[in-house]
Structure 1
């Protein structure tokens, strides 16, 4: 096995020293990737977040050959996430501000808003109607011309997507 792949394989197998060395070796490459994907102000944050994700998830990598592509995807997602967070809370619609006003952590508010914005329209609509306007399942079904089961399913899927977004 090629030396560069040996380190990746060792990291995949849980060797912490190999993982540390791998992260140090690939940090310049991550930075180059981030320069192409992020705004200049977000490069360092994207690299740090990407390194943390790689550290936590290296064991899930299926093949060592997939490592460079996997890195690219991680950096791209982190840059997109940071780009969404650059929107100021004041620029968000008033109903979003009201919905998240009880969260004292501004970063959490921005993450939640970005998570909701990332939802496909059909899921965003039911989440906002249920959680912002506090409509019942039946009211949402009537308003959107859906069955109650479809509304429940969309709320469930929408919330799962928000959880997945927040876990990134």
Structure 2
């Protein structure tokens, strides 16, 4: 937090009493700490979501905080929990039956596969499409993509993995060529 001890404690106390202006100011004051902590505990692509969800939790539950001195540790606990939630959500999916997946792909004509792949790629959010195109079509290495995008290699790998998972889900979904809506990320 960027405010001094007594000022911080007064702000937290005012927020605990339900003062909307104090809650808003508290969220602004603690946002940089929240973001810094989330960067240490979340996937790069989840930092903004984790901070937003954490600040929402803080705004709703600050009245239940017993002592102003516990605020910082509580904030970090909430952020860490949100990072874990997002990570679990990212990797939570039903494992695909590989034989079934292989059969679905093999039963389609080359032309249908090309159409479905194009549709799957078009449905990707831009930041996912970018890494897939750089890696799989331009055949750049992770290090080259990382340098080009100015992002850490781990973030590039994570995004590429998620993009490929979304394409796979799309391709194996029923009637993939009939899908019109973009894939959620």
**In which range does the TM-score fall when normalised by the shorter chain?**
0.5 to 0.7
- Aligned residue runs from structure 1 range 13-28, under 5 A: 13-28=17-32
- Aligned residue runs from structure 1 range 58-69, under 5 A: 58-69=62-73
Report the CA distance between 1:89 and its aligned residue: 2.2
1:31 aligns with 2:38: no
1:3 aligns with 2:15: no
Report the CA distance between 1:63 and its aligned residue: 0.3
Give the total of aligned pairs: 93
Say which structure, 1 or 2, has more relative contact order (CA 8 Å, 6+ apart).
2
d(CA) in 1 for partners of 2:64, 2:20: 15
d(CA) in 2 for partners of 1:89, 1:80: 16
In structure 1, the partner of 2:85 is 81
> Which structure 1 segments of 5+ residues have no match?
94-168
Report the CA distance between 1:91 and its aligned residue: 2.9
RMSD of equivalent CA atoms:
1.6
- TM-score, normalised with respect to structure 2: 0.48
> Which structure 2 segments of 5+ residues have no match?
98-185
- Aligned residue runs from structure 1 range 103-118, under 5 A: none
Query: Greater Rg, structure 1 or structure 2?
Result: 2
